[in-house]
Amino acid sequence: MKTAYILVLPASLPVPVFEGFENYSTLDNIEQWEVVNSGGNNKWELTNTVGLASSNSARLMNSNQPIGTIDELVSAPVDLSGINGSMTLSFRYAYKRKSSQDDDFLRVYVTSDCGDNWAVRKTLHGGQITTATQASAYVPAADNEWTTVHMTNITNTYWSENFRYKFQFEAGGGNNIYLDNINIYAGAPSDNLIVGISENEGVDGLAVYPNPADEELNVRFAVNNAQTTMVHVQDLSGKILQTYAIQANVGSNLMMINTQELASGMYFLSIESGGFQQTVQFTVK
Domain-by-domain residue ranges, the chain? 13-186, 203-284
**Ranges of the chain whose pLDDT falls below 70:** 1-9, 196-203, 274-276
Identify the pLDDT of residue 275: 59
**pLDDT in the model for residue 199:** 46
Q: What is the per-residue pLDDT for 42?
A: 97
3-state SS, one letter per residue, for the chain: CCCCCCCCCCCCECCCEEECCCCCCCCCCECCEEEECCCCCCCEEEECCCCCCCCCEEEECCCCCCCCCEEEEEECCECCCCCCCCEEEEEEEEECECCCCCCCEEEEEEECCCCCCCEEEEEEEHHHCCCCECCCCCCCCCHHHEEEEEECCCCHHHCCCCEEEEEEEECCCCCCEEEEEEEEEECCCCCCCECCCCCCCCEEEEEEECCCECCEEEEEEEECCCEEEEEEEECCCCCEEEEEEEEECCEEEEEEEECCCCCCEEEEEEEEECCEEEEEEEEEC
Distance (Å, whole) CA 182 – CA 24? 15
User: Between 3.40.50.720, 3.40.50.2300, 2.60.40.1930, 3.40.50.970, what CATH number should domain 203-284 receive?
Assistant: 2.60.40.1930
The CA distances from residue 136 to 7, 62, 64, in Å, are 39, 11, 10
Angstrom distance (rounded) from CA 166 to CA 152: 16
142 Cβ partners below 8 Å, 6+ apart? Answer: none
pLDDT at 7: 53
Domain 13-186 has CATH 3.30.1490.190: no
pLDDT by residue (tens digit) across 11-61? 899 999 999 999 899 999 999 999 999 889 999 999 999 999 889 999 999
In a 13 Å sphere around the CA of 149, the CA atoms on its Cβ side amount to 21
User: In b/e form, how buried is each residue of 228-260, taking b as 16+ CB within 10 angstroms?
Assistant: ebebbbbebeeeeeeeeebebeeeebeeebebe
Query: Residue 159: what pLDDT?
Result: 96
Distance of alpha carbon 182 from alpha carbon 163, whole angstroms: 15
